[in-house]
Each structure stands twice: as structure tokens, then as C-alpha cells.
Amino acid sequence: MNWYRRHGRDLPWRHTRDPYAILVSEFMLQQTQVATVLPYYNEWFRRFPDFSALARASESDVLHAWQGLGYYARARNLHATAKTIVDRYGCRFPKSIEQTRQLPGIGKYIAHAVAAFAFDQSVPIVEANAARVLARIFNLQTSIDKSAGREFLWNRARQFVPECGAARFNSALVDLGALICLPRKPRCRICPVRKFCRATNPEILPVKKTRPCTKQLTENHGFVVKQNKILLERSRGRWRGMWIL
């Protein structure tokens, strides 16, 4: 916590307790780096400042605002969640983790993140950065992609989280992984928790399942131009309604 006060990242979603703002940030940060998210996050709030504005928007407008972030299912789920919050909860985000997890696209991590960062509930969060820190501190040799490994990490994180100040603690754990406990070249010499770390070879941790081979797909498209206009069609395949050649 002392390290975080001096070196923690100054991010816009850390200056609010608005569950909508927290939720948007968490959806955007899934599989996307912070530097990429920042400009999208600010522009998103100019177009959709709250759940009501997002719920009223068309799917086309939502996907356009998301354009460039990739993994467009996140945008569709966020849109669907906004509609549910407006219709079922009267624009008030539920504080219950169980209710939150019933919303579209929200799993354990995002539900806990909103509970911790918006409502300061004493709950752990385990995303990629925190998982790496915890796996190394405890020298975990079990794959974190398997249920036993995931359960171990969540249980350890639960033991650490304080009764008060869970938001700051979880932010500190995430930043420790993002800035110090790096994936390939951990900065162990300046790590504030190095005296607690049991990892003998941190570079190879956390253990993960072997990735499946990449599939190469070939798609055929026609580039049709007439009178300075390009012919597009709305996809019915894996691009799910997006406009393509």
C-alpha cells in the first residue's frame, strides 16, 4: 500500500465510485491494454454518459463507438446490461454480487471489481496482473487455467483483502503486476514485496495450459466501387452484423 501511494497509476476510473464508470472501464480493459483504452473511455462518456443514454442508443451507434477496441461481444454485452439496469433496476446498479453476475457478459471478476471499486465491498479480484503476482508469491506450480489453480488464487486473494479499503488494496495488487511483476522480465530488485515472494524462477510463472494452434481462415470479399461509393453488406457470419466488404 505504501508503494501504491507513491507509484500507483493515475487512471480516470479510479477517481469515481460510479458503478457505470467502473463497469465501462472493466469491459474495455478485458484483453486490452490501459493505454489503448484511455481515449476510448473518455470518448465513450461523451456519447453515453450513463446507463440511460447507453440503453437508448442503437446497436450500430454502440459498435461504432467501440470500433477499434475489438472483441465486439463486449460492446453488445455492455449495451444489453445497460438495458437490463434501466428496465429491471430503475437505473440503479445492484450491490449484490449474485445479481450482478446475472447481467450479460459479467462473470466473477467484473462482478467483484464493481463491488470493490464502486461500493468498496471487502471482496478480492483476480485478473491477469493480480494472478501473476499471487502465483509468483506462492510459487504456484498448478496451471492457473485449471479450476484448482483458479480456486487457489481466489482463496489467497480473499485472505489478503482488508475489511476497509478494498478498492485501494485491489488497485495496488493490479498495479504491482502491471508495473513491477511483469510477465517476462519481472523487476524483482525493486519489488516492494520481494521478501515475501517464494518464487525461485518467477519468469516461468504463472503456469498456463499450452495454447492451441492458431487456425488460419480464408475469407473472400469483393471490393466493389461505383461512382465513388463502396458497396458494403451487413455480415451474417462470424462478424455478427458488422458492415464488411
Residues 6+ apart with CB under 8 A from 222: 231, 245
> H or E segment at 154?
helix 147-160
**Reported confidence tier of residue 1, pLDDT bands at 50, 70, 90:** very high
> Which residue of the set 26, 98, 163, 233 is catalytic?
26
Return d(Cα 178, Cα 131) in angstroms, integer.
11
Mean pLDDT score of the chain = 95
Give the pLDDT of residue 135: 98
**Reported confidence tier of residue 148, pLDDT bands at 50, 70, 90:** very high
Please state, for a pLDDT cut of 70, what percent of the chain lies above it: 100
Instruction: Compute CA distances 175 → 58, 60, 235, whole Å.
Output: 35, 34, 39
Could you tell me which residues are beta bridge partners of residue 226?
229
Q: CA nearest 23: which of 63, 90, 81?
A: 81
pLDDT greater than 90 at residue 173:
yes
233 by DSSP, 3-state: which? strand
**233 part of the active site:** no
Q: Quick one: angle between helices 108-119 and 19-29, nearest 10? A: 140
Give the pLDDT of residue 20: 98
Q: What is the pLDDT of residues 93-145, one digit of tens each?
A: 999 999 999 999 999 999 999 999 999 999 999 999 999 999 999 999 999 99
**Reported confidence tier of residue 240, pLDDT bands at 50, 70, 90:** confident
**Reported confidence tier of residue 237, pLDDT bands at 50, 70, 90:** confident
**Reported confidence tier of residue 22, pLDDT bands at 50, 70, 90:** very high
- How wide is the angle at C-alpha 139 spanned by C-alphas 35 and 168, nearest 5°? 45
Q: Quick one: angle between helices 166-179 and 128-137, nearest 10? A: 80
Largest CA distance in the chain: 69
Give the pLDDT of residue 212: 87
Give the pLDDT of residue 242: 83
**Reported confidence tier of residue 72, pLDDT bands at 50, 70, 90:** very high
Q: What is the pLDDT of residues 191-234, one digit of tens each?
A: 999 999 999 999 999 999 888 899 999 989 999 999 999 999 98
pLDDT greater than 90 at residue 241:
no
